[in-house]
């Protein structure tokens, strides 16, 4: 059953109120409390001098009240004394400017000195609390990538990058070949000559840049693994996690996921809406509900990252402080988001934060309590969720969906190294596909290229740019039908044009050659005709030669009538990006063609999904929606008339 929790900072409140806070959390129905992720200097105010007393007492107070504690390693906030002693651990931004102390995440992943301190403090925490009966989970660090901190251009990163390249290529000749350094006379004679790809006169070789992105990702994995390995020596079977920042794709989340016991992510739908690349009119209509599919996409992604196990470690409780604008969610949305998380396979939802703070950077950020300790809106909605939990039978785990969408981190980086069009946005393409399929009533898993493809009926690859012969043959062996978007397999692992031509080894799935690509501005007029529908090309168009069946063609003053959508029994290839109603048409074609079963009863602004035998419908609109449920349906929460921002939970037959 769904479990709930909160993020608490005992160090920010007088000790005299900790017990009341803890008891109130328990009375509310919370089970989990996460603490200490920024507590380093409070625990170790001077190097080697520890002050555990306050944290010991906080853990006791929380535990004795009946809460289970998620203890964090505090490595997202290195203390001032450490910066004074080792200023070289600070990160350096792309302009070569040192990022200073005074906020958080002021460290470079490549600093060997910092790594030593990190494993030291992780060990000290683990020794102290590894066997503490109240600590039932561990979180490492906090949100890798927050505040653009994956890429650092420090001397430490420079040295580590050279060593990484040496391991990857072994000989400088191989690197020169891979990077294409005969172009512009960029040849190197030793690894030590190679610099980081910032502050160059022109753009770097795409391979140089992609290798730097790969290297940076590996540094995060190494940093995380060092802490996991340290904790494991002391914490026994207590599970370890990291709280991922949804939408940061600067490192490979799957690779970090392999080393932890479950994934967790931080869900802030209001900020995600405001910061998204959507049109202002769409954002206006969703201002206080957010993009309906954005949290769901991430739940489905992190369930995969966590190999089936995922939490929301931070759930937005009301207005936050950090987005371009910080609007309030509608009353009811905290409850809706909580049930949405559960429906998508999330086991625990923790709200950030317990009480709104009166000082420092996040004083505009709401909590479950107002700064004067009165309950705020989220508190009331959580109380309702707690009551509703008691009405539900056990749902079990979320089952595999029939549709999978493949998200490949290196392909995201590849797009960045050679964007070709300034508004090319891989994240938007993935989200558009996910949202379109969800609106049609399909459950969708987000998976990596190495995932198990068995039992999927349809696999969508919106833009797997890096050619991958292993992936191509696993796809052709799978029983699923496949959709390949433009740019698929267009570059080798070294960012060369794939052979004989794109889509490289994906030619195993469909016979075509991409002979020309164009990026198009938003004011382009090129259209695609498909099944009586026409829609605009959005930013990417390819000219292809093919022997396959042509499902749709371009309509434009350039190469009019050329193939835009082609297919055989196994695969559909799109030679352009599309969105809006044409994407809907293509998606509807794909689900029908691959016989995907859809949830029935969908209407504008409604989403329906399933976890085990329970079904959930969510109303993201400000009007009541009526959903006709089967005669035999057993309704546990809500009713067929779903009020605005409301939820109904039912099973089609008795849950056995």
Active site amino acids: 143, 314
C-beta of 54 vs 322, nearer to ligand GAL: 322
C-beta of 102 vs 654, nearer to ligand GAL: 102
Is 264 one of the binding residues for ligand GAL (CB under 6 A)? no
β partners of residue 375:
369
Among positions 39, 119, 142, 366, the unique one binding ligand GAL when judged by CB under 6 A: 142
Q: How far apart are CA 57 and CA 292, in angstroms?
A: 41
Q: Which stretch binds ligand GAL (CB under 6 A): 142-150, 168-176, 232-240, 389-397?
A: 142-150
Q: Could you count the other beta carbons within 10 Å of the beta carbon of residue 13?
A: 17
Do 431 and 297 contact (CB within 8 A), yes or no? yes
C-beta of 268 vs 339, nearer to ligand GAL: 268
Which tokens go with 416? 């960045």
Q: How far apart are CA 340 and CA 115, in angstroms?
A: 38
CA distances to 135, 206, 424, 555 from 541, in Å = 54, 21, 12, 12
3-state secondary structure of 126: helix
Among positions 109, 144, 265, 268, the unique one binding ligand GAL when judged by CB under 6 A: 268
Is 143 one of the binding residues for ligand GAL (CB under 6 A)? yes
Q: Which stretch binds ligand GAL (CB under 6 A): 138-146, 205-213, 246-254, 384-392?
A: 138-146
Q: How far apart are CA 297 and CA 433, in angstroms?
A: 10
Is 211 one of the binding residues for ligand GAL (CB under 6 A)? no
Q: How far apart are CA 108 and CA 255, in angstroms?
A: 19
Q: How far apart are CA 651 and CA 592, in angstroms?
A: 25
C-beta of 35 vs 583, nearer to ligand GAL: 35
C-beta of 38 vs 188, nearer to ligand GAL: 38
Q: Which stretch binds ligand GAL (CB under 6 A): 139-147, 420-428, 470-478, 575-583?
A: 139-147
Q: Could you count the other beta carbons within 10 Å of the beta carbon of residue 470?
A: 10
Is 11 one of the binding residues for ligand GAL (CB under 6 A)? no
Residue listed under structure tokens 């409604």: 606
In angstroms, what is the minimal distance from the CB of 575 to ligand GAL? Answer: 39
Q: Could you count the other beta carbons within 10 Å of the beta carbon of residue 523?
A: 5
Residue listed under structure tokens 């599970």: 239
Q: How many residues line the site for ligand GAL (CB under 6 A)? A: 11
Is 266 one of the binding residues for ligand GAL (CB under 6 A)? yes
Residues near 511 by beta carbon (within 8 Å), at least 6 away in sequence:
546, 547, 548, 568
Among positions 11, 88, 123, 146, the unique one binding ligand GAL when judged by CB under 6 A: 146
In angstroms, what is the minimal distance from the CB of 132 to ligand GAL? Answer: 23
Q: How far apart are CA 115 and CA 109, in angstroms?
A: 8
Contact map string, positions 289 to 328, toward ligand GAL, x by CB under 6 A: -------------------------x-----x-x------
DSSP code at position 328 = P
Q: How far apart are CA 384 and CA 377, in angstroms?
A: 11
In angstroms, what is the minimal distance from the CB of 266 to ligand GAL? Answer: 5
In angstroms, what is the minimal distance from the CB of 323 to ligand GAL? Answer: 9
Q: Could you count the other beta carbons within 10 Å of the beta carbon of residue 601?
A: 17
C-beta of 321 vs 622, nearer to ligand GAL: 321
Closest CA to 219 of 191, 171, 257, 251: 251
In angstroms, what is the minimal distance from the CB of 353 to ligand GAL? Answer: 8
In angstroms, what is the minimal distance from the CB of 554 to ligand GAL? Answer: 43
Q: How far apart are CA 518 and CA 203, in angstroms?
A: 20
Q: Which stretch binds ligand GAL (CB under 6 A): 141-149, 286-294, 446-454, 479-487?
A: 141-149
In angstroms, what is the minimal distance from the CB of 162 to ligand GAL? Answer: 33
C-beta of 322 vs 636, nearer to ligand GAL: 322
Among positions 365, 412, 541, 562, the unique one binding ligand GAL when judged by CB under 6 A: 365
Q: How far apart are CA 444 and CA 405, in angstroms?
A: 7
In angstroms, what is the minimal distance from the CB of 271 to ligand GAL? Answer: 7
Q: How far apart are CA 344 and CA 464, in angstroms?
A: 25
In angstroms, what is the minimal distance from the CB of 317 to ligand GAL? Answer: 9
Closest CA to 212 of 224, 201, 200: 200
Helices (H), 236-332: 253-259, 269-274, 280-285, 293-305
β partners of residue 554:
528
C-beta of 149 vs 411, nearer to ligand GAL: 149
In angstroms, what is the minimal distance from the CB of 312 to ligand GAL? Answer: 12
Is 376 one of the binding residues for ligand GAL (CB under 6 A)? no
Is 141 one of the binding residues for ligand GAL (CB under 6 A)? no
Closest CA to 15 of 73, 68, 59: 59
C-beta of 265 vs 379, nearer to ligand GAL: 265
Q: How far apart are CA 633 and CA 651, in angstroms?
A: 6
Is 172 one of the binding residues for ligand GAL (CB under 6 A)? no
DSSP code at position 638 = S
DSSP code at position 631 = T
C-beta of 207 vs 356, nearer to ligand GAL: 356
Is 8 one of the binding residues for ligand GAL (CB under 6 A)? no
Which spans of this chain sit near ligand GAL (rule: CB under 6 A)?
Answer: 142-143, 146, 266, 268, 314, 320, 322, 352, 362, 365
């Amino acid at each position: 059953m769904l479990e709930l929790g909160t993020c608490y900072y005992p160090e920010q409140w007088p000790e005299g109120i900790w017990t009341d806070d803890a008891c109130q959390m328990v009375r509310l129905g919370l089970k989990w409390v996460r603490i200490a992720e920024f507590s380093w200097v409070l625990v170790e105010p001077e190097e080697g001098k520890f002050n555990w007393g306050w944290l010991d007492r906080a853990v006791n107070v929380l535990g004795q009240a009946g809460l289970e504690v998620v203890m964090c390693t505090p490595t997202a906030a290195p203390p001032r004394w450490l910066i004074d002693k080792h200023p070289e651990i600070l990160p350096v931004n792309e302009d070569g400017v040192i990022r200073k102390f005074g906020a958080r995440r002021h460290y470079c992943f490549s600093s060997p000195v910092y790594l030593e301190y990190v494993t030291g403090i992780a060990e000290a925490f683990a020794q102290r609390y590894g066997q503490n009966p109240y600590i039932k989970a561990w979180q490492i660090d906090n949100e890798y990538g927050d505040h653009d901190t994956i890429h650092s251009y420090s001397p430490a990163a420079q040295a580590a990058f050279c060593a990484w390249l040496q391991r990857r290529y072994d000989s400088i000749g191989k690197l020169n070949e891979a990077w294409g350094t005969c172009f512009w006379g960029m040849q190197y004679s030793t690894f030590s000559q190679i610099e980081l790809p910032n502050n160059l006169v022109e753009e770097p070789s795409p391979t140089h840049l992609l290798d730097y992105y790969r290297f940076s990702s590996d540094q995060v994995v190494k940093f995380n693994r060092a802490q996991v390995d340290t904790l494991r020596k002391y914490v026994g079977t207590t599970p370890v996690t990291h709280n991922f920042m949804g939408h940061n794709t600067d490192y490979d989340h799957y690779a970090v996921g392999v080393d932890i016991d479950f994934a967790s992510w931080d869900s802030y739908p209001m900020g995600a809406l405001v910061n998204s690349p959507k049109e202002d009119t769409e954002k206006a209509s969703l201002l206080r509900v957010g993009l309906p599919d954005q949290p769901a996409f991430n739940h489905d992604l992190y369930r995969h990252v966590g190999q089936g196990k995922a939490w929301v470690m931070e759930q937005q409780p009301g207005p936050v402080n950090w987005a371009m604008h910080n609007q309030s969610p509608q009353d009811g949305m905290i409850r809706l988001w909580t049930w949405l998380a559960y429906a998508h396979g999330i086991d625990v939802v923790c709200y950030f934060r317990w009480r709104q703070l009166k000082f420092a950077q996040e004083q505009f950020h709401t909590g479950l309590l107002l700064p004067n300790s009165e309950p705020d809106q989220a508190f009331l909605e959580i109380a309702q969720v707690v009551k509703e939990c008691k009405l539900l039978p056990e749902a079990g785990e979320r089952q595999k969906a029939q549709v999978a969408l493949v998200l490949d981190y290196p392909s995201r980086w590849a797009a960045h190294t050679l964007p070709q069009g300034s508004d090319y946005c891989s994240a938007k393409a993935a989200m558009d596909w996910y949202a379109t399929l969800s609106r049609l009533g399909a459950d969708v898993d987000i998976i990596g290229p190495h995932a198990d493809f068995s039992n999927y009926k349809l696999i969508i690859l919106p833009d797997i740019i890096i050619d991958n012969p292993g992936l191509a043959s696993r796809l052709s062996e799978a029983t699923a039908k496949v959709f390949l978007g433009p740019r698929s397999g267009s570059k080798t692992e070294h960012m060369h044009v794939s052979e004989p031509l794109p889509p490289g080894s994906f030619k195993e799935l469909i016979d075509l050659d991409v002979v020309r690509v164009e990026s198009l501005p938003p004011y382009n007029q090129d259209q695609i005709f498909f099944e009586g529908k026409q829609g605009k090309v959005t930013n990417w168009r390819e000219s292809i030669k093919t022997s396959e069946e042509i499902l749709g063609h371009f309509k434009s003053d350039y190469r009019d009538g050329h193939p835009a959508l082609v297919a055989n029994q196994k695969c559909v290839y799109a030679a352009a990006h599309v969105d809006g109603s044409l994407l809907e048409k293509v998606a509807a074609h794909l689900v029908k063609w691959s016989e995907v079963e859809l949830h029935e009863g969908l209407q504008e602004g409604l989403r329906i999904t399933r976890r085990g035998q329970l079904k959930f419908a969510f109303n993201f609109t400000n009007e009541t929606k009526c959903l006709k449920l089967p005669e035999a349906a057993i309704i546990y929460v809500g009713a067929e008339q779903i009020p605005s921002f409301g939820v109904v939970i039912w099973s089609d037959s008795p849950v056995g």
